[in-house]
Chains A and B, each alone.
Chain A
Amino acid sequence: DAGITQSPRHKVTETGTPVTLRCHQTENHRYMYWYRQDPGHGLRLIHYSYGVKDTDKGEVSDGYSVSRSKTEDFLLTLESATSSQTSVYFCATTPQGPTNTEAFFGQGTRLTVV
């Protein structure tokens, strides 16, 4: 299995509080991604990174920010959590670009905003 670890695995938080999810990889993959998965919507890209300090927005980036200060860690921050951000969050990595290469996924983080 690819060495991708997400933490925490489960979290319940209150509306309006900041939350940070962590993705840690030991594969030295250049690209990292944050997706959310909701019933009826599939996997939707939030943000991605194509190198240290290089990030870009995805399809559903509003209310989220990311940081990547070193190759192995990609942090996703919900600046002020809302109930609409209740979801399962997946981190994924690819060795180089996303073209013609397998994406490896972490175990997922189930976030509930109450």
Chain B
Amino acid sequence: QKEVEQNSGPLSVPEGAIASLNCTYSDRGSQSFFWYRQYSGKSPELIMFIYSNGDKEDGRFTAQLNKASQYVSLLIRDSQPSDSATYLCAVNSGSGNTPLVFGKGTRLSVIA
């Protein structure tokens, strides 16, 4: 069973701070990694994806991948109250039709 682990939170950070969200995965063959944001009562939407070791930046968001440690993280700089949501980590093994495996999500609360 391929597993994706996240702390459920809630993770509370003050407005303007950096929020750090972490995710570990069990399948060493995993090749693509995604972060989705889900507001309460809404469907998930993609924020970032990363395939290679290292950092990938997009605006206030940075995804970090370390395949040796089987670890992927999402940093949100200058956190805003509008960033308050559940963040889902998703991992794909890269083989054939194997669908994405999602973590349970981390709930982030940004306090104004």
A-side residues, CB < 8 A to B, are: 31, 33, 35, 40-45, 48, 50, 56, 58-59, 90, 97-100, 102-103, 105-108
B98 CB within 8 Å of chain A:
yes
Q: How far is the CB of A108 from chain B (nearest CB, A)?
A: 5
Known: A42-B102, A108-B43. 12 other contacts (CB 8 A): A31-B99, A40-B104, A42-B105, A43-B102, A44-B102, A98-B97, A98-B98, A98-B99, A99-B94, A100-B32, A102-B49, A108-B42
- Interface status of B34 (Cβ within 8 A of chain A): yes
Residues B61-112 near A (CB distance < 8 A): 88, 90, 92, 94-105
Q: Are A97 and B96 in contact (CB under 8 A)?
A: yes
How distant is B108 from chain A, measured CB to nearest CB, in Å?
A: 15
> What number of B residues sit within 8 Å (CB to CB) of A?
27
Binding site for A on B (CB under 8 A): 1, 8, 31-32, 34, 42-46, 49, 51, 88, 90, 92, 94-105
CB-CB < 8 A to B99: which residues of A? 31, 33, 45, 48, 58, 98
Which of A45, A100, A102 contacts B46 (CB under 8 A)? A102
Cβ-defined contact, A56 with B97, below 8 A: yes
- Which A residues lie within 8 Å of B94 (CB)? 99-100
Could you jot down 5 A-B contacts, CB within 8 Å?
A43-B102, A44-B102, A48-B99, A98-B92, A103-B34
A97 touches B88 (CB 8 A): no
Are the C-beta atoms of B105 and A102 separated by less than 8 Å?
no
Partner of A105, one of B1, B45, B92: B45
| CB contact under 8 A between A100 and B31, given known A42-B105, A48-B97, A58-B99 | yes
